[in-house]
Amino acid sequence: MSLAGVKTEGKSGKEKTWTVSDVLKWTTQYFNSNNISEARLDAEVLLSYVLDLERLKLYLEFDRVLKKEELNDYKSLIKRRLDFIPVAYLVGQKEFMGLGFFVNKHVLIPRPETELLAETVINKIKEGFPYSFKEKTEKVELVKESIPQIIDLGVGCGNIAVSIAKYVKKCKIYAIDVSQKCLEVAFHNSKTYKIEDKITFLLGSLFYSLEGYNLKGKIDFIVSNPPYVKTTEFDSLPLEVKQEPYIALNGGQDGMDFYHRIISQSLIYLKEEGYLILEIGDGQKEEIVDLMEKKGFCSIQVVRDYSGIERLILAQKCMFKGKRN
């Protein structure tokens, strides 16, 4: 008897019936024997996709018998997963910050640890915004409400920008990527949650596409999860990670290419006390902190993720040149 192969009959020669329970048990064992990580989770995600059912509801339908068409669709996904195609690409979706994001082979798959970056920005905005300020005109003094302005560098599928826009009542985000296909995916996700009016999508490399928007010295947050895999380490990545866009992973020979460019140029766009918040790779903290200090950032903080790994670096543009906190 085989689910992934041709033969699916029982000992009597009759077509075997496969229940949800049978399929999950067999697939988990099959994935484990073929070195597929998170075998049970992958089996559940693929089956819930085929059955158009929430994953946790599979447990309420353990005795449900799969139709022939459902079984064939599931077998097809199993075979593709054995080629180490990521599950998110197979089902076209990945959850992030409690939201479902459409993904395809053109975008980096959102990671759970990146939620920390989005959460940090959202929390800081809710702590400090909105605030009012006075603006004098020729005839009257107006009281206006400040709306946080954010730059997201390397938007990918839009998981960071869309999450912030979804959970923050008022904000303006400039979402930048060098890939037109990424921007198309990100725009699609913004429309899904009806927040596309909060985000301006720009094609270009880092800050270059912002020319003409009059944003220098006006940005409250610059955020990025830049490529940080060393070129020399790419061959040692897991096979499923290698299926993701090379341009979204490769950070240069030392993994620091984008950090140098972002840190050097961020001060031009940040307000005084504005935040630069970067996701970092394991072991990169000291070099990045040193670079930030040399460029004139202050109030530098390192935040660990839920696994205890140093994952984020937050820094502020000093109020006055040379000031350190």
Instruction: Kindly report, residue by residue over 13-31, the tens digit of the pLDDT.
Output: 567 899 999 999 999 999 9
Q: Both tokens of residue 215?
A: 């944003």
Mean per-residue pLDDT, 96-119? 97
pLDDT given for residue 1 in this prediction: 41
Residue 4: pLDDT over 60? no
In the chain, the percentage of residues whose pLDDT exceeds 90 is 83
Task: Name the DSSP class of 225.
Answer: -
Give the C-alpha separation, 178 to 156, whole Å.
9
Give the C-alpha separation, 66 to 50, whole Å.
10
Cα torsion for 77, 80, 85, 87, to the nearest 10°?
A: 10
pLDDT band, very low/low/confident/very high, at 135 (cuts 50, 70, 90): low
3-state helix vs strand vs coil in the chain, percent to 5: 40, 20, 35
Mean per-residue pLDDT, 210-233? 95
C-alpha separations of 243 from 13, 210, 246, 305 in Å = 40, 31, 8, 25
pLDDT given for residue 323 in this prediction: 43
Which residue bears the tokens 């826009």? Answer: 165
Decide if 223 contacts 148 (C-beta within 8 A).
no
Q: Please name the residue ranges forming H helices in 14-86.
A: 20-33, 39-51, 68-81
Q: Please name the residue ranges forming H helices in the chain.
A: 20-33, 39-51, 68-81, 87-91, 115-128, 159-167, 180-192, 257-269, 285-295
Which residue bears the tokens 């998170």? Answer: 38
* Per-residue model confidence as pLDDT tens digits over 173-210: 999 999 999 999 999 999 999 999 999 999 999 999 99
The residues facing 167 across adjacent strands are none
pLDDT band, very low/low/confident/very high, at 7 (cuts 50, 70, 90): very low
Mean per-residue pLDDT, 85-114? 97
Greatest Cα-to-Cα distance within the chain, rounded to the nearest angstrom: 92
* Per-residue model confidence as pLDDT tens digits over 140-169: 555 456 799 999 999 999 999 999 999 999
pLDDT given for residue 129 in this prediction: 64
